[in-house]
Every structure is written in structure tokens, then in C-alpha cells.
Chains A and B, each alone.
Chain A
């Protein structure tokens, strides 16, 4: 497939997604719409890890640390200010700063992949323990009580920008959440086409070579990590907007595991894969929850094991390869020579650089 064809397919897909978001409230009932709002906010979280893992090569086992910090930052700020606009900003800024500090420590220490996973996992556990033990009146920020294990109920949801009286209805929340999902997707796509995105992929492919070409892998990875943290924080704000509640279980290991499962299933190294995996698994888990016959951990664990062993690339790349090979079969019949030459060129490109 040529670059132009790929670009037109992508633009068409984004347009279809926009139309789907716009038309959705007319076709599904309120309960389902709320479900999809939740799925979409989780999909933003999936995109954040899909970006730093798939394109930055950083396997962060504790992406929920940033998600949870964003959620808590939003909740505290929204309760204090009474207006969600600065609170959303806080939900992005606080996790970014945290990611900056942690990332500086980790990447400038040149800590290897595996230890990075262990450290991020540990940080998540620390946050869980700390927020779990914040019961009591002494743990109050402004007028917001952190509430320990019980969490913070009745957090103000989103309102019109700078207008605290104009609270959004569930339909509007869906537009906001779906819109943010599409915007983050498009933004990351554009970023990956930019100079920085190409350098990030180069660093993922071969750190030493990128360093020899004059790029500092530590800086590149740090910014990828910070950006991932910011997006995860934004997802946290969207999540609180959905449920008007935040508790320490947001830092739980099971959620961290689930994000990784979404990405493994959807496909690492793609942007659409994590979103697809997220929607599929969330739907599956909500179905299992309503059936009550199986334990959802059992199913999720089995799925993860099967995918890692048998389908390590994930759904989206596998399907794409199938479609592309079909395309080439058709194309080969007509334009054998020219096409083969261009394919060779395309094969030399790193994954995700298109």
C-alpha cells in the first residue's frame, strides 16, 4: 500500500470515528452510553501506555500511577476550585511532573528495561499504600479530604469551561470523552510523523545507534515518558468525570495488568491496537461480570498467556499483515516490477514510522 493510500485510510477511519461519536447518543440507551464513556476514558489510558511502550520502548508496569495521580489531582482541585477547567489542567500537570521526576531518576540512571518495570510497579504499590492510609482529618488538601480506603465520593464532574453552573449531561460527557480519545489518537499520530516521533522510534530500535547519530536517548525517552504520564493523567480526569468517585484501588495492580493485556491483545507498536484491545476486553469483562459464571481474572489470565505464547504480535498487526499480503497478491498480478522495488524500500522503514 502506498503512503497516500495509507494516509487516506487513516483519515477516513478518523472521520468515521468522529461520526460514530457524534451519532452514538441517538442510537444507544443511557446505560450503554455511560459504559462506552468509561471504555473511552480507559482507551485514553491504553493509548498512553501503547505510546510509551510501543513507540518509546519503555515497558512501564505502573501506568496506573499516573492515571491515579491524575484522578486524585482532578478530584482535589475540582473540590477546592468548584470549577473543572483548572482541575483538568492539574490532572495533566501533576502526573507529568511526577513522570518527569521518576523518569529523570530512571533514564539518567540508565536502568535497564526489566528494572524499569520493577521500579514502576513498586512506585504504584507505594502510591496505593500511601493513599490507602490517608483516612482521617489530618489528610486534607484545602477542603478536600483524601478519605483513605473509602476514597473521595461526590467529586464535581466536568462543567462548561469557566462556568461551574453549566454541568455537563451524560451525553455531553460522552462527546468530551470520545472527542478526547480521537484528539489524543490524532495528536500522537501527528507526533509520530514529526521529527521527535521519528527520533523516538529510532531510539526504541537501537539506542546506541541513535546516540551515535547525535541524539540523546535519555532525553528522548524522558519526554516520551512524560507525555505518556500526561495522557494517563488526562485519562484519570475523564475516569473521575465518569464515576464522580476516586479511591486508592485506582492504583491496584489488577488495573496495571489489564492495560498491558489490552495492548498485548490489540497489538504493540500500533496506536489503534491498544484502543481496540481496550474496548474488546472491557466489553468482555463487563459481560463476564453480568454472567457471574466465570471469574474474570481466570479469563484475563488465560487470554494473556495464550496471546503471549501463540499470537505475540496482537490482533491489529496480524490482521494488517493478512490484509496487506492479500493486497500484494492482487497488486502483484498487474505491477510486478515497480511494486517489488518500492516494497523493498518500505521494508527498510522501522515499524510505526509511517
Chain B
């Protein structure tokens, strides 16, 4: 019984971290049709920002929840202005250029900080379920994922910016005729996606190894989840990360963590083959 509870907690935790990782990517890919292969490096930058500022004496919660998203949001703004805005509508070129960008960011970070980094301890401590101990931080991750989901949903669904952004994504020319400047909307959306990604990097920093190449571990997982989820940002990402997180954790429990990842990737490939439009393209049409 205790074991089942622990396993359930692990599954929830896996799904929550996957959801956090994917949300920023889903915003950028789902709304702007830009494949950002530097997504993993945005996560890495968020983690670095959180750890560096925490080590410099900033309160750990502020470092994770404020500094990381702000910093990566600014980086996203810079990237959009200097690189991505030339590549709208050129899907393959955007993939290549952002891949180049990811190598560039890895190179810069390695040059400045070297190959390893002093991490931060996981805050909050742990609690017991019967014979097993686990960390409160797991539940914190879940809470952050739920809050983020609520915020992004509310912003897209109920605010004026959300309405304008969705209109621009559907038909930029029409929106421009009605007096909206699509350039500004693209800029804001990209930087919002980057900030959400930076937040994910920040809150995952205490539970992951901080190296310049840590993004590589995330980018494929995040992509396959977003593609599996389909066009709808919230419902697609939520259903796909729930499914893949479940499959991953169960696979990891019954075999090894390595095969857990392999099982995740294989099930994702099968899912894309069966539902090329993603889960939300089939089951949640027209949702946000």
C-alpha cells in the first residue's frame, strides 16, 4: 500500500516536471510554429540563473521563481529580435538556426563557468509514507505545475493579450488590419514562452545535475511530448505529459530508469504514428 502511494507520487511528479518542461515549448511551437531546438538550453539558463543567484545570497525561492524566469525571458526577447524574427514561416531553417543557437549557448556557458557547477540543496526536507521517505519538494513541483497551468490558461483565455495573441496566430494579416502589430505579439509570445521555460529550469535546478549540456536531456523529451500533445497548448500538453510521465515512471519502476526513458520514447513514436495530429487534435479540438 505504501509502495503504491509512493509509486503514485512518483508518477505525479514525473508528469508534473514533464508538464513544466514542455509548457514553454508548447507556447512557442503551438502558437508561433517555431521549433525551438534551443529549448533545452533555455532550461539550462534558467537553472544557472537560479543557482548562481542563490549562491550569491539571494533567497532560494526568489532565485527560482523570479530571477530565473525574468532572466530567460530577457534572453528570449533578445533571441527573438536578433534571430527568430527572420525565420517565421521557414520551419526547417528555424530548426537549424535554433540548433546553432543551442550549440552557441552551450559554448558560451562552458567558456564562462566551466564544465561543472556547484548545485543548490533541495529545500523543504522530506516526509514519510510508511517505510518510505520522500521529499516535500515533489509536492511543490506539482503545485508549481498546477499554478502555471492555471496562469497560462487564464492569460490565454480571459485576458485581452490572450485574445490578441490567439487572433494573431490564426491570421496575422487580419489582426494587423484591425490595428494590432503582429511583430509585438510575436515578440511578447516568444519571450513569455522563454520565461515559462526559465521558470521550469529554476524549479528543476535543485533536483537535477547542473552542467552546460543538461539541456540535451530535456529537449527531445519536451519535443516528443509537445508533438504528441498536438496543437492545443494546455489540454494537449497536459494529456501528453500525463500519459508519458505515467509510462516513464512505471517503466522505470519495473525495469531501470534508462529503459523507462526508452519506453517513453517508443510509446511517443507509436502515438505520433497513430495520431499524427496529437492527442488534442483528436480528442480536445478547439480547446486552449
Contact = CB atoms under 8 A, between A and B. Distances in A.
Contacts of B143: none
Interface stretch (B3-11, B51-59, B262-270): B262-270
Contacts of B86: 309
A188 interface: no
Given A298-B111, A304-B97, A133 B83 contact: no
Interface in B226-261: 227, 256, 258-259, 261
Interface string A299-316: 111111100110010000
A284 interface: no
B95 interface: yes
Given A113-B91, A129-B258, A129-B261, A264 B106 contact: no
Interface in B34-51: 35
Nearest to B35: A114
Nearest to A121: B220
Given A110-B276, A118-B224, A309-B86, A129 B99 contact: no
A118 B223 contact: yes
Contacts of A112: 276
Interface in A291-348: 294-305, 308-309, 312
B216 interface: yes
Query: Which DSSP category, helix, strand, loop or mixed, fits chain A's interface?
Result: helix
B105 interface: yes
Question: How many A residues are at the interface, by size bracket?
Answer: 35 or more
Interface string B25-36: 000000000010
Interface in A84-141: 105-106, 109-115, 117-119, 121-123, 125-126, 129-130, 132-133
Interface in B208-225: 216, 220, 223-224
Given A109-B273, A122-B265, A298 B95 contact: no
Contacts of B101: 301, 305
Given A297-B107, A298-B104, A301-B105, 9 more contacts: A59-B95, A113-B91, A133-B256, A296-B107, A297-B103, A301-B103, A302-B104, A304-B99, A304-B100
